[in-house]
Structure 1
């Protein structure tokens, strides 16, 4: 993936994937987990709750049923994108921690205030983040913290978020955390610090067999 594009996806929290979600029974090594990052488990329930937050916010913003269905269709990769963001958040935090980088609530507040002024208000900013980046209003400040952490990490490395040095720091953090994704959501590419679609043909075979049995 092009470095500039990877940077844009990180800072916008809108990491897209084209292939359909694979269906599986779960990760046998970590039952009930969507991903394991270091000693932290991201459960399927936690992931689904995050996705539900976005869907509920989208539904509230678009009361017309037909328009809402169009929004859902345009954000069909929301589950995978959301998991990617949840994992990347921890990877970035580890990289920042290793570099001695911290972000204060004051800095997040100042960033939010500036963005609200640009957007025309608090509600307008929430709408922009929801529509463009798939971030629910309740998670806005978490996302801004993520962006600030990325910017400050890059600054501590004497680079910016589009340069290899920044992504190498994330790769080192990914390796230390030994990220493990449930195959239904793909796999984690340590070098790119990015979710990729897993090459697991057996998943489709098992799914197809189950479908035939229940047909």
Structure 2
């Protein structure tokens, strides 16, 4: 997981599956390891109804809207997801560079959907194949102290994306191993593998020619994430609804 950790201090109410441990919390960030690093954008307008375009494929605004609505509903009903998100926010306040806030937003959904698409393409480029059993094992790791579905909801996606997120996490791990990571987050070999993995994902994203609908923001190359729209032009003036 490229060495990122989260310290969880929240305790569950009665009836939950137990406190979310730091080990489980580390899994929370697995899906965000390369978050934003793969999200590109172009200057050309994209077709109406698309939140983003990945090569010839569209991520529709309807799919993004549904993901946001489902996530919001599931988050309200999931105590563990609330605890995990609180832990993420606490860490972000203590370490501002630890990442963007986790929430059920369109930007968060688009980021994750793009990461899923690019991870699959990067796996092919790296000669990595992720089996269903490896996805199952990743879900098992995520679920050791907290339900994997709750972790995914805490990260800002509805639970029906759990296998997609787990596959992305497993893909990232296998790519790091292929590049020489040795399991020690601070070792020179792992740090070098991290940089190579980031380069691979950026290169893969560039080849996929990813574009983002300006309604949802723009790509910040420095922060490597989709940032809120700053232009004064309305959706109509920018040519995209």
Partner of 1:129: 152
- Picking from 231, 238, 241, the partner of 1:200 is 231
Cα deviations by residue, 1:55-93 (Å, 9 ceiling, x for unpaired): 22123336xxxx9xxx9xx86562101111111211121
Structure 1 residue 166: Cα displacement: 1.0
**8 Å Cα contact 2:116/2:164 also seen in 1:** no
Alpha-carbon separation, structure 1, partners of 2:108 and 2:114 = 10
Change over 3 Å in CA distance of 1:145–1:89 after alignment to 2: same
Corresponding residue SS for 1:107: helix
Corresponding residue SS for 2:134: helix
Alpha-carbon separation, structure 2, partners of 1:92 and 1:144 = 11
Alpha-carbon separation, structure 1, partners of 2:167 and 2:50 = 25
Partner of 1:38: 55
Partner of 1:168: 199
Structure 1 residue 127: Cα displacement: 2.6
- Picking from 64, 71, 84, the partner of 1:47 is 64
Q: What pairs up with 1:101-120 in 2 under 5 angstroms?
A: 101-116=128-143, 118-119=144-145
Structure 1 alignment gaps of length 5 or more: 17-26, 208-215
Q: What pairs up with 1:132-211 in 2 under 5 angstroms?
A: 133-159=155-181, 160=190, 163-188=194-219, 194-203=225-234
Change over 3 Å in CA distance of 1:128–1:86 after alignment to 2: closer
Partner of 1:95: 122
Moved over 6 A (4+): none
Structure 1 residue 178: Cα displacement: 0.8
Corresponding residue SS for 2:233: helix
Partner of 1:23: none
Partner of 2:30: 11
Structure 1 residue 151: Cα displacement: 0.9
Alpha-carbon separation, structure 2, partners of 1:201 and 1:148 = 40
Q: What pairs up with 1:21-36 in 2 under 5 angstroms?
A: 28-36=45-53
**8 Å Cα contact 1:175/1:190 also seen in 2:** no
- Structure number having the greater helix percentage: 1
Change over 3 Å in CA distance of 1:97–1:194 after alignment to 2: farther
Alpha-carbon separation, structure 2, partners of 1:129 and 1:182 = 24
Corresponding residue SS for 2:130: coil
